[in-house]
Every structure is written in C-alpha cells, then in structure tokens.
Amino acid sequence: MKEEEILQKAIEKAVKNGWDSLDRYSDRDGTLKKKVLRYKKLESVEHLHNSCWEVKFVDKNGWAKDFHLDLNTILFDHDFAIAFFGDKPRLCLKCAGAFPESLEEHKRNSEVEWKYHGQQLYLAKNRLKYISQFL
C-alpha cells in the first residue's frame, strides 16, 4: 500500500470514530495556525515532500479546504490518537493479565490503547508502516 493510501485510510478510520478537528495546522504559506479546524470528511491526501502532506477536507458547510500538514502533526494529534487507536484499557502493566488484588490497583497500573500505541508510534522507524497494522 502506498504512503498516501495508508495515511488516507488512517484519517478515514479516525474520522469514522469521531475525529473531527485539528488544533494546529499550517496554511499554504507555511503560517502555523493554532485555531481549531473542524471538518466533515476527508477528500484527498497527497505527499508533497519530506514530511509535508497536502490534506483536503470538506468542512461542515460543504466547502473544500486544503492544508499543508506535517505527518507528525496528524499522527500525534491527541484526538486523532484516541479516535484511531481507541481509549480502552490494555492489560495491566503490573499484573500482566493475572487477576489483581483490587480493581483500583488494576486501574492504576493499566494503560489505555491510544497512549500505548502513541508511544510505540513515536519509537517506530517507519510511522506509516506502524499505522498500517491497524487499518
């Protein structure tokens, strides 16, 4: 699968699971914007150069908007990670699946999916290849 296809499918999955905004992005001129972009659906993804991607969204009013985004801006967006990986608890890190002494102890030692996979994604040599495992 091409990089564009992986990123497009990843964004589509996150949008399907409720991801509908970016809290920082760059305009075409490279100016960093910190306001929230709200959108309805993804139209297209194109790899421009290095880690810069052109992502076209259709906003809630039906207007197409294109943005130049750094790959990490997308993948490490907090809300993207929750929508893409989910926020269910993983196995308890301390008890490794064995029944803990108390439920509270288990909750303290558990980690949610998006945090775990966010850490793994950060360490991955090829982040798009890591993401592709979950499509």
Q: Quote the pLDDT of residue 132.
A: 95
Q: Quote the pLDDT of residue 121.
A: 92
CB 106 within 8 A of CB 36: no
pTM of the model: 0.71
Residues 6+ apart with CB under 8 A from 62: 40
* Alpha-helical regions (H) of 19-124: 71-75, 78-85, 103-109, 113-123
Please list the pLDDT of the chain residue by residue as tens digits (135 residues). 888 889 889 988 988 888 876 655 555 555 555 545 566 667 777 777 777 777 777 767 777 777 777 788 888 888 889 999 988 776 555 555 554 555 565 555 566 788 888 889 999 999 999 999 999
Q: Quote the pLDDT of residue 23.
A: 57
Q: Quote the pLDDT of residue 81.
A: 92
Residues spanned by the domain of 26: 3-132
Q: Quote the pLDDT of residue 105.
A: 58
Exposure b/e, 38-56, CB count within 10 A at least 16 = b: ebeebeebeeeeeeebebe
- The per-residue DSSP string of 11-23 comes to HHHHHHTT--EES
Greatest extent of the chain over all pairs of C-alpha atoms, in Å: 56
What is the number of structural domains in the chain? Answer: 1
Q: Quote the pLDDT of residue 45.
A: 79
Q: Quote the pLDDT of residue 103.
A: 58
Residue 82's alpha-carbon distances to 14, 38, 70, 107, 114, in angstroms, are 8, 16, 19, 18, 5
